[in-house]
Amino acid sequence: MYQSIAWYATLFLVFLLALAFAIVYGESRRLREYGPIQEKGYKIRKFYFLGLLAVMGFASAMSLSKLPYHNQHAVAKEHAKVVEVAGLQYAWEFSDENFTVGEEIQFRVTSKDVTHGFGIYNTKLELIAQTQAMPEYTNTLTITFEKPGTYKILCLEYCSVGHHVMMKDIVVKPKGGNDHEL
């Protein structure tokens, strides 16, 4: 979802920007005194500045309440399954590889050598969550798989010449083990 929001928001805003530059370019061959242009320009700029502030404030308010860090420092919830994950050149080690739809999973991610990126891709190969896998540190990523199928774990931080082969498949089973849902 956020990928599409980012894509269309960028297209829209860059289009507006291009329009502004095109209009100014179109008007650039005419000549008028600069003083009145500055005076009017500064007045418009106040509203433009306030508008940008409002948009940024709204985006901050909307997005900062949904941070993915909430379980980083919290004690693991009783109902959540804790899975220890370690990245190493060029593989992923899991303490448990049994996953079921609807089950909350807390991936506790670290690294045994260099920094890696722990990226979870869904069955359509869309990135749905990630955190860094760093030596000496543990990052807790909480996720609930909503659909059954084969998910992929891809390395998303450059970790040397085998970076692109650092992939792992995990299978998420349907609730109650109904294979036909696959």
Rounded to a whole number of angstroms, the minimum distance from the CB of residue 133 to other proteins is 10
Rounded to a whole number of angstroms, the minimum distance from the CB of residue 179 to other proteins is 26
CA distances from 8 to 117, 125, 147, 151 (A): 26, 20, 26, 26
Nearer to other proteins by C-beta: 165 or 180? 165
Nearer to other proteins by C-beta: 80 or 129? 129
Rounded to a whole number of angstroms, the minimum distance from the CB of residue 46 to other proteins is 10
* Distance from C-alpha of 140 to C-alpha of 109, rounded to nearest angstrom: 6
Nearer to other proteins by C-beta: 34 or 176? 34
Do 118 and 91 touch, CB atoms closer than 8 A?
A: no
**Half-sphere exposure in the Cβ direction for 75 (13 Å, CA):** 1
DSSP-derived letter for residue 93 is E
Q: Greatest CA span in the chain, whole angstroms? A: 76
Rounded to a whole number of angstroms, the minimum distance from the CB of residue 176 to other proteins is 29
Nearer to other proteins by C-beta: 147 or 175? 147
Instruction: Provide the residue type at 12 as one letter.
Output: F
- Is the peptide bond between 137 and the residue preceding it cis, with omega within 30 degrees of 0? no
